[in-house]
Structure 1
């Protein structure tokens, strides 16, 4: 066999050997692709199963969330109603406290007014009192009376300042008609020169507290007789 033929045989033998080596590799690649496809099928099935379970879990949690929101709404409504009841109760307590405070204030102010009336009565008595000549001759007694009257006047001014500070003002009776809401008839007189219902005098002064009647004024009212003609 010549060298050329020998070289061709060796090349052909090498080709066969290479062909035998490529076949198993081809089979291995096909097996690998099949395994990969199977794994992909398994992974997709697992994925769909997990997604389905997740969907059911989300639905379940959504129902629980709706129930929780519903219960929370009921609790919130109950809390709001209780809060409103508490606010009303607090308002009632505050109103009761205010009413009690106002009533206590009225009682104290009425006592102050009674005390002021007594002091004013004594001051008017000293002012209108005319001592005899023997008393006027005694300078010490006259000075004592003057000092006493001056002290009563100062005390009355202090009372008036205290009343004014607490929004207590006297009821106007001069040149005003009779007002049944703030006045009470103590006596009736007949003076033709005065209009019917005119205030002729004040027996006891009346006062207003914050614009409302604290103590009614006792007054003397002019009452004209009507001429009944047939």
Structure 2
């Protein structure tokens, strides 16, 4: 219950008590300035009605403002929900692209590792133990190390193949400037002019995307 309603009830109660008092003990005929009169009561009652009216209008105004605020808040939440849904859709649409970029980064590192392994395999294949101090044990260790390097190279190639990564250059292929870099050129080679005669470093592509360019030797035209 509001303060204005408590005040109204209190005033009515005091008025009833005053009426009861008049019935029990009538006031003397002479006027008493301290005794309440009907004019004062009606003035206070009019003031009370005016205050109640003002408070009622204030409550209605506050209620209307609250409704407007709730409406704005509801609209804001709806817009926020729509924007959040749009952001989530954008993030979801970018997931495949982000995954592909991450895979390309890892595959590029694997390609560099693969090239290092390929170089090691080549060096091991050219190494021979000879002389009086070359034992069978040392030769067996060299062969075991070579097999391990070849096995690692094969595993790297298998991984690249599973991700649709393929080499871009082969001996005898026509030189392709978009995927190859000509390091040197030779006049005499067992390939047609303008073709790759030697591969210094292999390049790789993933489907239609170039991951690394090949460094090659080309027979001049």
TM-score w.r.t. length of structure 1: 0.55
Q: Which runs of 5+ in 2 are unaligned?
A: 1-77
User: Is the aligned partner of 1:187 residue 2:184?
Assistant: yes
Alignment deviations for residues 142-191 of structure 1 (CA, whole Å, 9 cap, x no partner): 11001110111111111111111111122242221011222122222222
Q: Partner of 2:170 in structure 1? A: 173
How many angstroms apart in 2 are the aligned matches of 1:135 and 1:166?
46
Check the 8 A contact 1:187/1:221 in 2, yes or no: yes
Report the alpha carbon displacement of residue 110 of structure 1 after superposing the two structures with TM: 0.9
Q: Partner of 1:218 in structure 2? A: 215
Q: Which has the larger radius of gyration?
A: 1
Check the 8 A contact 1:135/1:141 in 2, yes or no: no
Q: CA RMSD in A?
A: 2.6
Query: Map of 1:116-135 to 2, 5 A cutoff?
Result: 116-135=114-133
Aligned length: 143
How many angstroms apart in 2 are the aligned matches of 1:153 and 1:172?
21
How many angstroms apart in 1 are the aligned matches of 2:108 and 2:161?
14
Alignment deviations for residues 36-81 of structure 1 (CA, whole Å, 9 cap, x no partner): xxxxxxxxxxxxxxxxxxxxxxxxxxxxxxxxxxxxxxxxxxx9xx
Q: Partner of 2:95 in structure 1? A: 97
Among 179, 193, 212, the alignment partner of 1:196 is: 193
Q: Partner of 2:202 in structure 1? A: 205
Q: Partner of 1:13 in structure 2? A: none
Q: Which runs of 5+ in 1 are unaligned?
A: 1-78, 225-230
